[in-house]
Amino acid sequence: MIEETISRIDGLDEAAMEAAQHHQDILAIPLGSLGRLHEVCVQLAGITGSPRPEIRDLAVVVMAGDHGVVARGVSLFPQEVTREMVANFAKGGAAINVLARHVGARLTVVDMGVSGPLSELAEPQFPDLRLLHRRIADGTADMSQGPAMSRDEARRSLEAGISVFEEEKARGLHALGTGDMGIGNTTPSAAIAAAFLKQDPAETVNRGTGIDGNALKHKIEVVKRSLALNRPDPDDPLDVLAKVGGFEIGGIAGMILAACASRTPVVVDGFISTAAALLASRFHPEARNYLFAGHLSAVAGHKLMLDELALDPLVDLGMRLGEGTGAAFGLSILVASSRVACEMLTFDQAAVSSPESQDRRVQRDVPLSRRA
Amino acid sequence: MIEETISRIDGLDEAAMEAAQHHQDILAIPLGSLGRLHEVCVQLAGITGSPRPEIRDLAVVVMAGDHGVVARGVSLFPQEVTREMVANFAKGGAAINVLARHVGARLTVVDMGVSGPLSELAEPQFPDLRLLHRRIADGTADMSQGPAMSRDEARRSLEAGISVFEEEKARGLHALGTGDMGIGNTTPSAAIAAAFLKQDPAETVNRGTGIDGNALKHKIEVVKRSLALNRPDPDDPLDVLAKVGGFEIGGIAGMILAACASRTPVVVDGFISTAAALLASRFHPEARNYLFAGHLSAVAGHKLMLDELALDPLVDLGMRLGEGTGAAFGLSILVASSRVACEMLTFDQAAVSSPESQDRRVQRDVPLSRRA
C-alpha cells in the first residue's frame, strides 16, 4: 500500500503552471502586486493541473498519539492531557475547532494510539466534525530505552494515514491541513529533525509547551540518548519513524504521501507536522512540491526543517500550539489565492486601461516548477 | 465636526484588557501558545471594553480620488484608471471584491474626488456592495505647482470620512478595514510620510505600481519639489493634508478618527492607508491604539510609517496593491482572535489537566495599554 501510493507521486504540471502565471499576469492590477497569492496560485495549478484551481472543500485532520518518552519528564503536561484534549476536540471547544470553523474547514480527529480508553468518548455532535479510531497501540514505547515502535507498527501508522486521506478525499477535498495532538511529541519530532538534518539535537529540541532551564537541557539529553541508542538510518525513513517517531507522526506522513499521489495540496502545520513532512519527503523527493507551510512556529528548530524542505511559511503569528491551528490560516490563504484566480476580472474583461510601456511577461530564468 | 469627533477619542480600557488577558491565560492550551492572537484579543478588549470582544460585522471602505500630480508622470498608469477601477469595484470583479467576500466583509466604495464623470456608473448589483458619492472636487491640484487642495477642501474630506464611518457604524460594524484607489496616490502618501517623519523623500518614495530607474528618480524629485514649494507644517496635520495630501487620504483619516471616537477597531491597509493613519495620529495621539496594520506592503517606506505608529503588521504576503486587500487579511485575523476568546473552552470547562508547576500569570513590567 505504501509502495503503491509512492509510485503514483509525480512532478508538478508545468503547462498548467505556465497558463496560471499568464492568467495572473493579465488580471486588472499592477503586475505581480498580489505577491505570494500569485505564487500560491501557480503552485496550486502545478499540483491540480488547473490554471484556475478551485480550492473550496477543506479538511483539517488532527492525528493524536501518545509517547512512552514522557516517562522521562520531557513535557510540562501529564500524559492524560492527550486523551482529555481529544475529548475537547470532540466537544468542539479547542482552538482547532474554532479556527477550522473560522476558515470553513471540516475537522477530523484520528486516534492513532492515544494512551488509555477513548471508547467512552461521546461521538461528536457536529456534522463537520468526525472522530476516527485507527489506534496502532496504547502509545509508543520510550525511545530513550529502545525503539519507539516496531517496523511493522511504523508501516501500519503510514497505512492508516493513507486510508484516512482516501476517506477524506472521497468526501470531497481540495486541500488538506495537517494537525497533531500528543503530549511529548516535540521530543520525537526533534529527534526526527536531528536524524534527517544531521544536526546536533541542541539545535532541534525546543521548549515545547513551555519548559525551560534544566528541563530543556534534560530534554536535549533524552533526544541525544535516544539517537545514540537507536541509531536511526537517515537513508531509511521507515527506520527513523520506527526508532524515534510517533504514531500520529507516521499518520500525518502517510496522509501527505497519499495527498501527493492524488495531486491534492497539503498545508503543513508547525513543528510536529513539519517533521512528518520531512519524513514524507524522504519517501519521495517530489512530495515537497505538494506542500505549503501554513505558518512559522515560534518554537526553535521549525525553521531548520522548513529550510530543508524549501518551504516559506505563509503566516507568522508567533503561534506554537499545533493541533493544525497554523495550517488553518494557511488553508485560508490557499482559498484566497484560488478565488483571485477564479473570480477576478482581467484588464480586458474589466475594461481597465493597462500601461502601454510595461512588458507584462515576468522574467523567468528557471522553470516555474523548480521555483515552486 | 472634526473637533467634536477628536474630543471623543479616549484611551484604551485597562480593566477590560486585564480581564481579557486573564481569560486568555486560562484557555486549555499552553500559556501564550496562540501568540499574536492573544495580543490582538487584549487590544480589541481595550478598544471595545469587552474582555471577550465580538468581531463579526466587518466592512472594507475603499476611498477613491484623483491627483493632479499625475500630470508630472509619476505613475505607470493613466489617470482614467481610477474611474475604470471604481467601475470594476461596482461590477464586483476587482481584487478587493474577491478578498472582502473571502473574509466575510461588506464593501463600500466612496468617490471622494475621482476625475471625470462617475454618475453613469451602474449601481452595484450586490447587497454587500455600496457606491457612495462624496466628491470634494474633480481630483486634486498638482502639488508640485502649489497646494493639492484648499484648507477648506481638506476639512471637507475629513468630514466626509467621518460621515461615511457613521453610516457604516449605523449598519452594524465591529471592525473597519480601510482601502484606497487613486492613480498616483503613492506620491502624496510619500510626501506626507516625509513631512511627518522628517525624512528625505528618497526614503519614502517607492515604485508604486511598478516604475523604476529614471522614472523613480523623477518621482523623488517631484516629491522634493512639492515639499520645498508648499512647506507643509508637520505640527498642523490639516496643513499637511491640504498641501501634499489627497481627498481619499483625508477621507480615510476622517474614518479612522470617527472609528476611534466610537471605540471601533480599524485595520489599516498598506502605504496610502498608513499615510492616512499617520495623519489621524497627529490629530490625536491615542488614535494609534485603535489601529491594526493589516499587512506589510512590499513597497519601500511602508515600514518607516508602521514603525512611527508602533504597528506590527499581521501578515506579510509581499502584496503592494492597495484597495484594502491587506486590510482584508487583517480583518480575518481579528475575527479569528475574537472567536478564540468567545468560543474556546478553559481548562476547567474542558476538564483538561493543567500543569501544576506553571505560574499561569504573564509577567508584566508595563501596563497592558502601553504595550498595545
The residue-averaged pLDDT of B241-249 equals 98
A-chain residues within 8 Å CB-CB of B345?
88, 91, 93-94
- How far the first Cα of chain A sits from its last, in Å, is 28
Sheet harboring A266-268: ordered strands across? Answer: A129-133, A105-113, A58-65, A175-181, A266-268, A291-293
Contact call for B325 and A34, based on CB within 8 A: yes
DSSP character string of B117-154: --TTSPPPSSTTEEEEE---SSS---TTTS-SS-HHHH
DSSP character string of B303-325: HHHHHHHT---SB-------TTH
Contact call for B99 and A31, based on CB within 8 A: no
Identify from B296, B343, B361 which residue to disrupt to test chain A contact, counting A C-beta atoms within 10 A and taking the largest count: B343
Closest CA to B187 of B244, B149, B231, B236: B244
- Residues B94, B322: Cα–Cα separation, whole Å: 11
- Residues B350, A67: Cα–Cα separation, whole Å: 22
Cβ contacts of residue B345 below 8 Å, gap of 6+?
A88, A91, A93, A94, B27, B28
Per-residue pLDDT at A355: 81
What's chain B's average pLDDT?
94
pLDDT beyond 70 at B369: no
pLDDT beyond 90 at A124: no
- Angle B116-B118-B121 (CA atoms, 0-180°, nearest 5)? 145
Cross-strand pairs, A138: none
pLDDT tens digits, one per residue of B92-122: 999 999 999 999 999 999 999 999 877 667 6
Interface check A347 vs B, CB under 8 A:
no
pLDDT beyond 70 at B164: yes
- Residues B39, B12: Cα–Cα separation, whole Å: 14
pLDDT beyond 80 at B301: yes
Q: Are B229 and B336 in contact (CB under 8 A)?
A: no
Interface check B36 vs A, CB under 8 A:
yes
- Residues B341, B38: Cα–Cα separation, whole Å: 9
Cβ-based burial of A49 (10 A; exposed 0-12, middle 13-18, buried ≥19): middle
Contact call for A30 and B87, based on CB within 8 A: no
Count of CB atoms situated within 10 Å of the CB of B32: 18
The residue-averaged pLDDT of A115-140 equals 86
- Residues B324, B270: Cα–Cα separation, whole Å: 8
Residues 14-33 of A with CB under 8 A from B: 27-31, 33
Contact call for A317 and B333, based on CB within 8 A: yes
Note the ipTM here: 0.95
Q: Which candidate in B159, B323, B343, B356 is catalytic?
A: B323
What Cα–Cα distance (Å) separates residue B189 from each residue in A4, B105, B365? 58, 26, 36
pLDDT beyond 50 at A372: no
| Amino acid, single-letter form, for residue B256 | I
The residue of chain B nearest to residue A95, with distances taken between CA atoms, is B344
Sheet harboring B105-113: ordered strands across? Answer: B129-133, B105-113, B58-65, B175-181, B266-268, B291-293
Per-residue pLDDT at B372: 45
Which residue in A320, A325, A339 is closest to B98 by CB distance? A339
Per-residue pLDDT at B365: 53
**E-only strand ranges, B187-275:** 266-268
The residue-averaged pLDDT of A96-102 equals 98
The residue-averaged pLDDT of B179-184 equals 98
Residues 326-345 of A with CB under 8 A from B: 329, 332-333, 335-336, 339-340, 343-345
User: Considering chain A, what percentage of its residues have pLDDT values greater than 70?
Assistant: 95
Which cell numbers hold the place of A280?
514524507
- Residues B12, B319: Cα–Cα separation, whole Å: 31
Per-residue pLDDT at A356: 59
pTM score:
0.96
pLDDT beyond 50 at A306: yes
pLDDT tens digits, one per residue of A310-359: 999 999 999 999 999 999 999 999 999 999 999 999 999 999 998 854 45
Chains A–B, number of C-beta pairs less than 8 Å apart: 191
Contact call for B317 and A37, based on CB within 8 A: yes
Which residue segments constitute the domains of chain A, with CATH numbers given?
2-53+337-350 (1.10.1610.10), 58-334 (3.40.50.10210)
Helices and strands (DSSP H and E) totals, chain B: 16, 6
**E-only strand ranges, B58-141:** 58-65, 105-113, 129-133
B180 sits in which H/E element: strand B175-181
Q: How far is A319 from chain B (nearest CA, A)?
A: 4
Q: Which tops the pLDDT comparison, B259 or A356?
A: B259
pLDDT beyond 60 at A156: yes
Which cell numbers hold the place of B304?
518607516
What Cα–Cα distance (Å) separates residue B318 from each residue in A34, A258, B244, B250, B326? 7, 31, 27, 26, 10
Per-residue pLDDT at B368: 67
- Residues A221, B126: Cα–Cα separation, whole Å: 62
Which cell numbers hold the place of B296?
506589510
Which cell numbers hold the place of A264?
491534492
| Amino acid, single-letter form, for residue B277 | A
Per-residue pLDDT at B366: 58
The residue-averaged pLDDT of B243-271 equals 98
Q: Which residues of A are catalytic?
A: 323
Interface check B58 vs A, CB under 8 A:
no
The residue-averaged pLDDT of A120-131 equals 80
Q: How far is A47 from chain B (nearest CA, A)?
A: 21
Per-residue pLDDT at B117: 75
Closest CA to B360 of B43, B76, B28: B28
Cross-strand pairs, B346: B27
Q: Which tops the pLDDT comparison, B366 or A150?
A: A150
Per-residue pLDDT at A126: 78
Contact call for B36 and A319, based on CB within 8 A: yes
pLDDT band at B357 (very low <50, low <70, confident <90, very high): very low
Contact call for A318 and B85, based on CB within 8 A: no
pLDDT beyond 90 at B370: no
A-chain residues within 8 Å CB-CB of B37?
317, 319
Q: Which ranges constitute the DSSP H helices of A79-185?
A: 80-91, 95-103, 151-170
What's chain A's average pLDDT?
94
- Residues A43, A316: Cα–Cα separation, whole Å: 20
The residue-averaged pLDDT of B81-96 equals 96
The residue-averaged pLDDT of A221-231 equals 98
B-chain residues within 8 Å CB-CB of A87?
350-351
User: Considering chain B, what percentage of its residues have pLDDT values greater than 90?
Assistant: 91
pLDDT band at B317 (very low <50, low <70, confident <90, very high): very high
The residue-averaged pLDDT of A270-296 equals 98
The residue-averaged pLDDT of B27-33 equals 96
Residues 100-119 of B with CB under 8 A from A: 101-102
Count of CB atoms situated within 10 Å of the CB of A245: 35
